[in-house]
Amino acid sequence: MEKIIQQLNNSRHVLVASHVNPDGDAVGSMLAMGLALGALNKHVTIYNESPIPAVYRFLAGVQQIVNHLAPDAIFDTALILDCGELERIGDVAPRIANIPVIINIDHHVTNSLFGHLQLIDQEACATTEILHRIIQQLGVPLTREIAASIYTGILTDTGSFRFSNTNQSAFAICDQMVRYGVNPHTIAQHVYGHYSLGRIKLLNLALDSIEVSDNGKVSLMTLTQAMLLKTRTRPEDIDGMINYARSIQDVKIAALIQEKCNGNRYTNEFSAPYHVSLRSDGSVDVAEIATDFGGGGHSSAAGFGIEGTLAEVKSRILGLADKL
Ligand code: 5GP
Ligand code: MN
């Protein structure tokens, strides 16, 4: 922590980045730090390879996020947030690897410990929980805008305070963020209350696709490109749907198989025709399973890329039930 604070204080141009297909914690993390470093008068570039999902575009500073780095831009520090592997940043990962000081702040158990300075807290409910500490250590006064980003990271990564990572800090920090002007209803409306009709129609197809293993312990949801096309939706619209497959009685592992669009979901190492998301009821460590398949994540939420036919992928997933 001390070294990270020192490095950030001494830096001049910081590149703040997170993983492709960013979720609420990734977006909240990038913006909280972008705004905080801006308040310290640092030159900051916030980078993400993917478009920012519509539901997070209400957050202050979101228009500062770029998906292209000027070839001649020089950064002294890279601040990589909520990202288990450097490669998950996407195509610019090799360029970022050359930045003199790389700071890795994350809460994934499977974090590869890349970079020069790491702050990995697997007990943190969200990366924004860790950044709340960093921002205080930096002495940056909290604003309503920073508070909204921190709150959104915690709200979304804890599944609205329902998942097993929901801890006391989640409530303590969010309580403080509300005192700094965050309105929980407004944020919930932005994040969960403005879905397109297409997204609801896609949910219908997703629910209809659910299969369960013979012993009832593994559930499987499948989303294809054809379904996205039919409902005119984007991969970001799939976020959260896996929770329906997990909520089925007796299910210990829920999986969502997503057909990738043109290698767009996880690029590089993660490139594969399908992306599989895993969720557990808490009794099974899905980060271990995902790691066996070449991916990673948290004990109760993880993922990986896989190649093969849909039938093959399905049978490998349903096969997990034999060991339960
Ligand atoms: P999701 O299933 O929502 O995409 O991801 C669940 C969790 O697993 C997230 O914390 C995410 O970072 C991690 N995860 C998902 N896919 C991959 C992957 O392909 N590789 C790695 N290392 N982690 C992943
Ligand atoms: Mn996270």
Which ligand is closest to the CA of 24, given by its number? 2
For residue 59, give the amino acid letter. Answer: L
Which ligand is closest to the CA of 240, given by its number? 1
Tell me, what's the pLDDT at 265? 46
Distance, CA 83 to ligand 1 centroid (Å)?
9
The answer to whether residues 306 and 317 touch, using CB atoms and an 8 Å cutoff, is no
Distance, CA 235 to ligand 1 centroid (Å)?
14
Q: What is the pTM of this model?
A: 0.92
Q: Say how far apart CA 67 and CA 51 lie, in whole Å.
A: 8
Q: What is the pLDDT along the chain (324 residues), one digit of tens a residue?
A: 999 999 999 999 999 999 999 999 999 999 999 999 999 999 999 999 999 999 999 999 999 999 999 999 999 999 999 999 999 999 999 999 999 999 999 999 999 999 999 999 999 999 999 999 999 999 999 999 999 999 999 999 999 999 999 999 999 999 999 999 999 999 999 999 999 999 999 999 999 999 999 999 999 999 999 999 999 999 999 999 999 999 999 999 999 999 986 544 444 444 458 999 999 999 999 999 999 999 999 999 999 999 888 999 999 999 999 999
Atom of ligand 1 nearest to the CA of 287: 8
Which ligand is closest to the CA of 152, given by its number? 2
Atom of ligand 1 nearest to the CA of 19: 12
Distance, CA 296 to ligand 1 centroid (Å)?
6
Nearest residue (by CA) to ligand 1, atom 8, is: 302
Q: What residue ranges line ligand 1, CB within 6 angstroms?
A: 84-85, 108, 110, 266, 270, 277, 295-298, 301-305
The answer to whether residues 147 and 181 touch, using CB atoms and an 8 Å cutoff, is yes
Distance, CA 213 to ligand 1 centroid (Å)?
23
Helix 144-157 / helix 168-179 crossing angle, nearest 10 deg: 150
Q: Say how far apart CA 241 and CA 282 lie, in whole Å.
A: 18
Nearest residue (by CA) to ligand 1, atom 1, is: 277
Atom of ligand 1 nearest to the CA of 83: 12
Distance, CA 214 to ligand 2 centroid (Å)?
33
The answer to whether residues 286 and 280 touch, using CB atoms and an 8 Å cutoff, is yes
Distance, CA 107 to ligand 1 centroid (Å)?
12
DSSP-assigned letters across all residues of 124-139: -SSHHHHHHHHHHHHT
Nearest residue (by CA) to ligand 1, atom 17, is: 303
Tell me, what's the pLDDT at 68? 96
Name the nearest CA neighbour of 107 among 60, 145, 146, 154.
154
Helix 24-39 / helix 127-138 crossing angle, nearest 10 deg: 10
Tell me, what's the pLDDT at 260? 86
Q: 131: Cβ–Cβ under 8 A, 6 or more apart, which residues?
A: 29, 32, 33, 36, 81, 105, 150, 153
Q: Say how far apart CA 297 and CA 105 lie, in whole Å.
A: 14
Nearest residue (by CA) to ligand 1, atom 2, is: 277
Across the strands, what pairs with 29?
none
Q: What is the DSSP letter of 248?
A: S
On the 0-12 / 13-18 / 19+ scale of CB atoms within 10 A, 133 is: middle
Q: How far is CA 60 from CA 34, 56, 99, 131, 315, in A?
A: 10, 10, 27, 17, 44
Which ligand is closest to the CA of 105, given by its number? 2
The answer to whether residues 317 and 257 touch, using CB atoms and an 8 Å cutoff, is yes
Distance, CA 301 to ligand 1 centroid (Å)?
7
